[in-house]
């Protein structure tokens, strides 16, 4: 085997290794996409089944409504507390405000 033939065989080997590495990377991407798709479908179905269970079962329906009522009450309380502080700070630093104060005593 002369040097020209060995150089050609070396080029074919390098080229085929590059193609093999590309095929392996493509296979990894396809496998990752398939696993991600299956996981996403499973999570979505679990969430939908949970919502169906909440809607159709009266006990869970009331439980879910109570959770929403509690969380809504907490956010409303925090909003009113923030507005009280904002109006009091505004009155101290900026003088009288022309904004409507819901907490002003008549």
Average pLDDT on 32-50 reads 96
The most confident of the ranges 31-35, 60-64, 93-97 is: 31-35
Same domain, 35 and 74: no
Q: Residue 44: which of 33, 32, 52 has the closest Cα? A: 52
Same domain, 37 and 70: no
Domain closes at, from 56, 79, 97: 56
Average pLDDT on 83-106 reads 61
Supply the range of the domain harboring residue 11.
Answer: 1-56
The answer to whether 61 touches 54, Cβ cutoff 8 Å, is yes
Same domain, 46 and 63: no
What pLDDT sits at residue 79? Answer: 82
**Better-predicted residue by pLDDT, 11 or 20:** 20
Say which residues have a Cβ less than 8 Å from residue 55's Cβ, sequence separation at least 6. 61
Average pLDDT on 22-47 reads 94
**Better-predicted residue by pLDDT, 92 or 65:** 65
Q: Would the pTM of this model clear 0.95, i.e. be above it?
A: no
Same domain, 24 and 66: no
What pLDDT sits at residue 105? Answer: 58
Is the confidence at residue 45, as pLDDT, over 90? yes
């Amino acid at each position: 085997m002369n040097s020209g033939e060995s150089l050609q065989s070396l080029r074919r080997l390098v080229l085929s290794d590059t193609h093999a590495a590309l095929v392996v990377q493509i296979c990894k991407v396809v496998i990752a996409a398939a696993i991600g798709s299956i996981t996403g479908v499973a999570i979505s179905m679990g969430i939908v089944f949970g919502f169906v269970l909440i809607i159709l079962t009266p006990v869970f329906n009331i439980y879910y409504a109570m959770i929403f009522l509690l969380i809504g009450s907490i956010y409303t309380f925090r909003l009113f507390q923030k507005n009280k502080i904002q109006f009091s700070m505004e009155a101290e630093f900026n003088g009288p405000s022309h904004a409507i104060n819901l907490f002003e005593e008549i």
